[in-house]
Amino acid sequence: MNKYTDIEFASQEEIERQKKDIRKTSNLIGAAFIVLWLLPNTLNGIISTVTKLFGASLALSNLFSDPAFIMVLQTVYSVLMFTLPFIMLPLGIGKRIGELAIIKRPKKKLLTPFLFIGIGASAFANVLTNNVVGFFETFGIHFQSPDIVYPQGIFGFLLSFLAIAVTPALVEEFATRGMVMGAAREHGEAFGLTVSAFFFSLMHGNLVQIPFAFVMGLIIGFAVIKTGSLVTGIAIHFANNAIAVSMTYLLELTESVILEGIISMAYLAVCIVLLFVGISLAQKRQEKVWSIKESEGVLVFGEKLKLFLLSPTVIISIGITIIECIGTISFG
C-alpha cells in the first residue's frame, strides 16, 4: 500500500501524467495572478511617469483626486485585470473559454436557495473577518483595508454601483469561478473549488478582506457547481456588493447612531433568515445537495493541493500577497 490507496493499481505513467497536468494548470493560474497584479501597477507607473515628465496641470491633479473619476478608473482597471490575464488559461490547457466559464440557465430549483445562502452567509463571513481582525487588535496589531471615497449624489451612487457591484460581479466571477475553477476543476470538483477560493482571497491583497473572500469564494464556487452555471456566482456576487454599496449610501444619509445600529441589526437579521431559508429549500429540492466529488483521476486531493501550492508561479503569487499584507499592518 502506498499513498495512492484508492488507486493502487494505477500505473506510474498515469500518476506522472496527472502530476504534469496539475503543475501546468497551477502555473498557468499563478501566472494569470501575477499579470493581474502587474497590470494596475504598470499602468499607475506609466501615468505617474508621464505626469512627472510633462508636468501635471492643476486640472489633471484635481481629476485624479475626484472620487467620481476614481470610480470610472477602477471600472476600467477591473475589466483589464480580470479578463486579459485569464483568457489565456483555456488556451494553455487546450480548452475553449465557453468550456470553462459555463454561461447557461442555472438549475431553476436550486438558484433561489443558493442565492439566499450566498447573501445570508456574507453576514457570517463578515463576522469571521471582524473576529480575526479583533483578535489581532487585542495584541496591538492593526490591519488597514483600502479606503474608498464614494462620490456624492445620484450620479455618484450610480458610478459606485457600476464600479463596485456590476463590474466585479461580471469580471471577477469570469476570472475566478469561470477560468480558474473551470481549469482546476478538470482535476476534481473539490480541487477546483479550493483553488478558486484561494485565489479569490489572494486577489484582495489585505488581511481584512482575505478571510471573508476565502469563505465567500467557497460558498459561491459551491453554488456554481451545484447549479451548473456561472450565472449563479454572478448573481450572488452582484447581490452582496449591491447591498454593500446601498447600505453605505443609506447609512451616510442617517445622522443618528441609534438609527444606524437599527439598520445594521435589521440587515443582519434578514441575512440570518435568508441563510436558513436557503439551506432548508436546498435540502428539500435535491437529495445529497451538500455532496461534492472529493477526488478525480489517480491522485488524491491532498497530493493535488501540494502540487498546486509548490508550483513556482503560485509560490510567487503567495509571496506577492504576503508582501502586500505586510504593508497594511501597523502596530500600537
- Cβ atoms of 142 and 331 closer than 8 Å: yes
How many CA atoms does the CB half-sphere of 239 hold within 13 Å?
21
Classify 331 as helix, strand or coil: strand
Cβ contacts of 176 within 8 Å, gap of 6 or more: 196, 199, 200, 203, 217, 221
- Cβ atoms of 108 and 97 closer than 8 Å: no
Report whether pLDDT(2) > 70: no
- What mean pLDDT value characterizes the chain? 88
Per-residue pLDDT of 13-56, as tens digits, reads 888 999 999 999 999 999 999 999 999 989 888 877 877 776 66
Per-residue pLDDT of 210-232, as tens digits, reads 888 999 999 999 999 999 999 99
Nearest to 232 by CA among 267, 295, 181: 181
Residue 329 has φ and ψ, to the nearest 5°, of: -95, 135
Report whether pLDDT(258) > 90: no
Taken as a whole, the chain contains a residue count of 332
Mean pLDDT calculated for residue range 82-99: 92
Mean pLDDT calculated for residue range 154-182: 96
pTM: 0.90
Q: Domains of the chain: which residue ranges?
A: 5-331
Report whether pLDDT(62) > 80: no
User: Residue 259: which pLDDT band, with cuts at 50, 70 and 90?
Assistant: confident
Residue 248 has φ and ψ, to the nearest 5°, of: -60, -50
Tell me, what's the pLDDT at 296? 64
Report whether pLDDT(7) > 80: no
Tell me, what's the pLDDT at 239? 95
Tell me, what's the pLDDT at 4? 46
Mean pLDDT calculated for residue range 116-123: 93
